[in-house]
Structure 1
């Protein structure tokens, strides 16, 4: 028997809980009774609590009364976790789970709770793309991967945002019972057994500069307004009114990326918008966004977001 504990709290993301639960429940239909998953939902106190979407969830047991050992212990995420530290009973239970459970980890922003429990130091982890930078800043000793759908670091497992908890759970089912069982479960749930690409295909590459009147912001706006053109550091430094050497230094200081990196990201984002919104030929999009040709655009797309431009269009094009 595989015993699974999922920790919840007021304001939890319901799908972070129910997604993995459905994977394990469906898996039970394809495996022997002695190998099935038994899922227990835990909370600090007994009784119903409200998830972030308004759904009422009820724990099966409390942290205090629950067994110390589970095959797998997971903390679900919630919209408030990146900003507010979880309550002490949850943090204490996570620390205990890490010491006594075969595997432990988080779904989505549950990684922040792991961080407060001191469980991320020196570990390779991921979380929702929208909060990955915040997790890295808040827990600087963690090695945060901004792109992975899920990660396994020895006994520690973490996933990206919301539905990625399903991907993680399918991977654990494949680990426990083989890929054919995981594939059968994925078919039942009408999801991919192994999703192509990383979560960067769902996230924008570019963020607005802190000071939209700064020389760096002026350069960024110039690049995006002339995205089909070729750029050199010398040309961009002239737009900023700086020497090339000083411009490159200031740009990295303010954005944490090089001008070349910014230009490539800007081209990818421009191409994604065209792929999402229309049926223009890939050759035209590649030219208009400054890649030069479709082959170059395909190479950059595959490197940046893990899928080709055609695959991206098939997934995200508006009807």
Structure 2
């Protein structure tokens, strides 16, 4: 029997906890008793702890009485994970991670692991909306932005919310085989392995900065005229700069090259049209500046892991 412990704290995200718990609980239906998962919740206090949605959870144990060795130790995310500091939890996790077989986080629980010093030198991920914040907060971590979950040595991290279910299914598959994990996925009405990563859900282009600069003027023009053809030289002329200087300034301000910005903006525009209209793919490609459905399909598959048709079926 393996023990899975999940730490809860004020303002945690309930689904981050409940998703993995349901996976392991349902897996127990298909396993002999000696192979069951033993599920524990460990609270930062002995009394009931309120999740971010208002539901209260009574933990099985509190930090002061909980052992520090588990087969799997998980930390959920939520506003309490990235807005609050709980030094006692950080200290406890540092020791418990050393003694546990595997440890990790769901969603923004990565911030708690970061404050406990457990992300340094590891490949990690979190919810796409918070990756930049994780990068700036924990520069010694190797943050990736697209993967649903990552296992780096004994550390497990996952993307937002329902990614905890993906992570738990992967653990069940590793422990007891793909057949058991697939049976659990069927009960939960989820796919065993998702097509693509977090990029399907996140915008590829961040909002243009509000202050007006030569670069933001070019950005705004590009976003309004995606169907036009653009070269570095044309964009540089619009900003009254040399091509070389414009490229350098653009990368410094936007964190991507001008051509990467155009490509990403076109994909985002096409995604919006696929989500909100029934326009033919040829029209979507034209309005987004791709020139052809074939070119659009190639970039969608490369960047999102889905074709435009698959994207519309999933999100439209």
Q: Same fold (TM over 0.5)?
A: yes
Q: Which runs of 4+ in 1 moved over 3 A?
A: none
Deviates more, 1:248-257 or 1:286-295: 286-295
- What do the CA deviations read for 1:89-113 (whole angstroms, capped 9, x no partner)? 2111211121001100000000000
Verify the 8 A CA contact 1:212 1:218 in the aligned structure 2: no
What is the aligned partner in structure 1 of residue 296 from structure 2? Answer: 297
What is the aligned partner in structure 2 of residue 40 from structure 1? Answer: 40
Q: Once superposed, what is the RMSD of the aligned Cα atoms?
A: 1.0
Q: 1 CA distance for matches of 2:278 and 2:209?
A: 34
What is the aligned partner in structure 2 of residue 81 from structure 1? Answer: 81
Q: 1 CA distance for matches of 2:124 and 2:185?
A: 24
Q: Tell me by how many angstroms 1:81 deviates.
A: 2.4
Structure 2 gap segments, 5+ residues each: none
Question: Structure 1 residue 30 and structure 2 residue 30: aligned?
Answer: yes
Deviates more, 1:198-207 or 1:50-59: 198-207
Verify the 8 A CA contact 1:82 1:134 in the aligned structure 2: no
What is the aligned partner in structure 2 of residue 256 from structure 1? Answer: 255
Verify the 8 A CA contact 1:103 1:157 in the aligned structure 2: yes
Secondary structure of 2:82 counterpart: coil
Q: Tell me by how many angstroms 1:210 deviates.
A: 2.8
- What do the CA deviations read for 1:76-131 (whole angstroms, capped 9, x no partner)? 1112422333x122111211121001100000000000000111111000000000
What is the aligned partner in structure 2 of residue 243 from structure 1? Answer: 242
Q: 1 CA distance for matches of 2:193 and 2:256?
A: 31
Alignment of 1:1-319 (within 5 A): 1-85=1-85, 87-317=86-316
Q: 2 CA distance for matches of 1:252 and 1:82?
A: 28
Taking structure 2 as the reference length, what is the TM-score of the superposition? Answer: 0.98
Q: 2 CA distance for matches of 1:58 and 1:200?
A: 36
Structure 1 gap segments, 5+ residues each: none
Q: 1 CA distance for matches of 2:176 and 2:165?
A: 16
Q: Tell me by how many angstroms 1:212 deviates.
A: 3.7
- What do the CA deviations read for 1:219-248 (whole angstroms, capped 9, x no partner)? 111111110121101100111121111111
Q: 2 CA distance for matches of 1:97 and 1:309?
A: 45
Taking structure 1 as the reference length, what is the TM-score of the superposition? Answer: 0.97
